[in-house]
Amino acid sequence: MTDIKDTVSRYAARFRKPERSHRELSPHLRELEAEAIHIMREVAAEFDRPVMLYSIGKDSTVMLHLAMKAFFPSRPPFPFLHIDSLWEFREMGVFRDELAAALGIEMIVHVNEEGRSRNINPFTDGSALHTQMMRTDGLLQALNAGRYDAAFGGGRRDEEKSRAKERIFSFRNTKHAWDPRNQRPELWHIFNTRIREGESIRVFPLSNWTEVDIWQYILEEQIPIVPLYLARERPVVMRDGTLIMVDDDRMPMKEGEVPELRKIRFRTLGCYPLTGAVESEAESLEDIVLEMLTARTSERAGRLIDFDEAGSMEKKKREGYF
């Protein structure tokens, strides 16, 4: 994992001493970048206590990159917040810590202590309880503790049906709940940021990006990402039709299961027991993008928590999930 440290520190250097970049961004990415920067500056200017959610995934890391650009030469004028479920891939924790240290940004890591003391375990307690306690409850605890009035999230409208109708500035009541029937109309680039005490706004600067845009931007901007996105031989077991990586010794083996080495990568990152891998030969960013352009399944297909029923994401969002 020393290569993470090297990559990240080379990356951080460019924000200390920018060089006139001769790389020209594609026109549509320039438009998307400028729009995201505009949104972030509005939040910094109009809210008292903004925070940026950081999940360590590719979208989050693109969002963090845009924040570094938006306020340059200042540092982003808000902290970053990671809700640690205690079941992240180990590589993710290393990446998060190295990146925060190299960029000199404030990274708050929150764990739901009740869940920690009860040893919530997705293998034995099930994905629903684990996600509810360690992600949703953990997030609400951290947002309340920080009294944050605005929270950036990396959600994209192309991800899932219920997101397609969500505003860029999405109002939440004092219980952090979303009411899809009562959204503020959002016109031009004028955002209504008015809230009362205890209410908050979730802000989605990547609303108009697609998964291909994200990868293309990572490629063109040379943004470091967690190496789990790239194909490598890793120990996995096939469970209920999904490839699960054996990331540590907390994973109980079922009868007859023997971890085997397969060349895999991840299209989305989260808790390792709940994140399915895909077999892939894509070892470089270019390979990934090529795979992307010919992909046959959507990225959420690797996310086990969405499988209950089609409306499940909307339900989770009403309850405060990002």
Partner 1 sequence: MADGDVSREVRERLTRAGEGGVLRFITCGSVDDGKSTLIGRLLYDSKLLFEDQIKTLERDSRKHGTTGEEIDFALLLDGLEAEREQGITIDVAYRFFNTDKRKFIVADTPGHEQYTRNMATGASTADLAIILVDARKGVLTQTRRHTYIANMMGIRHAVVAVNKMDLVGNSRSTFHQIVSDYMKVAEDLGFKSITAIPISARYGDNIFKRSDSLKWYDGPTLMEHLERVDTAADDILELPFRFPVQWVNRPNLDFRGFSGTVTAGRLAKGGQIRVAHSGKEAAVSRIVTADGDLDEAVAGEAVTLVLDREIDIARGDMLVDPKSPPEVSDQFAAEILWMTDEKMHPGRSYLLKAGCQITPASVTTLKHKLNVNTFEKEPGKSLDLNEIGVCTLSTSKLIAFDHYADQRETGSFILIDRFTNQTVAAGMIEFSLRRASNIHTYAMDVDKSRRAALKGQKPAILWFTGLSGAGKSTIANLVERKLAGNGRHTYSLDGDNIRQGLNRDLGFTDADRVENIRRIGDVAKLFVDAGLIVTCSFISPFRSERQMVREQVEAGEFIEVFVDAPIELCMQRDPKGLYAKARAGKIRNFTGLDSPYEPPEAPELHIRTADMSADEAAEKVIDELVKRGLLG
Phi, psi of 168 (to 5 degrees): -70, -45
Contacts of 277 (CB under 8 A, 6+ apart): 234, 236, 243, 244, 245, 262, 264, 265, 266, 302
Q: Give the residue with the Cβ less far from partner 1, 26 or 144.
A: 26
Q: Give the residue with the Cβ less far from partner 1, 106 or 114.
A: 106
Q: Give the residue with the Cβ less far from partner 1, 6 or 286.
A: 286
CB of 14 to partner 1, least distance (A): 8
CB of 266 to partner 1, least distance (A): 16
Tokens standing for residue 32: 């998307």
| β-sheet with 107-110: strand ranges across | 107-110, 80-83, 50-53, 150-152, 200-203, 169-172
Q: Give the residue with the Cβ less far from partner 1, 1 or 164.
A: 164
CB of 204 to partner 1, least distance (A): 11
CB of 144 to partner 1, least distance (A): 21
Q: Give the residue with the Cβ less far from partner 1, 212 or 253.
A: 212
Q: Give the residue with the Cβ less far from partner 1, 121 or 192.
A: 192
**Cis peptide leading into 18, omega within 30 of 0?**
no
Phi, psi of 316 (to 5 degrees): -60, -40
Tokens standing for residue 254: 């079922």
Number of neighbours of residue 22 by Cβ within 10 angstroms: 5
Rounded CA-CA distance 185/207 in Å is: 15
CB of 74 to partner 1, least distance (A): 4
CB of 244 to partner 1, least distance (A): 18
- The sign of the CA dihedral 224, 229, 230, 235 is positive
CB of 255 to partner 1, least distance (A): 30
Rounded CA-CA distance 306/290 in Å is: 26
Q: Give the residue with the Cβ less far from partner 1, 22 or 254.
A: 22
Q: Give the residue with the Cβ less far from partner 1, 114 or 179.
A: 179
CB of 160 to partner 1, least distance (A): 8
Rounded CA-CA distance 41/23 in Å is: 24
Tell me the C-alpha to C-alpha distance, in Å, between residue 8 and each of 5, 47, 48.
Answer: 5, 30, 30
Query: Which of 50, 108, 51, 112 lies closest to 82, judged by CA?
Result: 108
